[in-house]
Amino acid sequence: MKEVRVDNLVKLYALLLLQKQVHGYEIIKTIKEKLGRNASPGQIYPFLKKLQNLGYVKIRKVGTRDKKVYVLTKSGERFSKAMIEKFGSMVELAVQNRLKTCAHCGCEIYSGGHSEKVKGATKYFCCPSCAKAFRK
């Protein structure tokens, strides 16, 4: 596996965001929002460029104004998985505030999910059918 240094949480978070196609500025904005850290363009774009040079990231043009989005390639996905495993505890730290567990099946809800009031208390579920099964 080719090497690129993922030596801080900002880079790791950028890798996480690349699971879906994403604009460079969205990476910067989301890191600011979710991590409360300033990720400068001078930090993110060279990192994206490096990933691109290694074949881990490819650029797609979308929309009428040819805006660029970044997306992981197959080998980029493998690389990102390896990094996520390596930095598992850091990732946990990054997502723990947002992480909820489905009250019915116990799976972890990373985004979205479904909440409902059950006997006066708000419960979180991964999906409406888990909520339905829980109420029974």
CB 4 within 8 A of CB 52: no
- Sign of the dihedral through C-alpha 81, 98, 29, 44: negative
Q: Which is nearer to Zn ion, 51 or 130 (CB)?
A: 130
Q: Which is nearer to Zn ion, 26 or 116 (CB)?
A: 116
The reply to whether 103 sits near Zn ion by the rule CB under 5 A is no
Q: Give, as one character, the DSSP assignment of residue 56.
A: S
Nearest approach, Cβ of residue 129 and Zn ion (Å): 8
Q: Which residue has the tokens 């196609």?
A: 21
Structure tokens at 15: 């890798």
Question: With CB under 5 A as the contact rule, which of the stretches 10-18, 38-46, 51-59, 95-103 interacts with Zn ion?
Answer: 95-103
Nearest to 93 by CA among 4, 7, 9: 9
* Residue count, binding to Zn ion (CB under 5 A): 5
Q: Which is nearer to Zn ion, 59 or 105 (CB)?
A: 105
The reply to whether 105 sits near Zn ion by the rule CB under 5 A is yes
Binding site for Zn ion (CB under 5 A): 102, 104-105, 126, 130
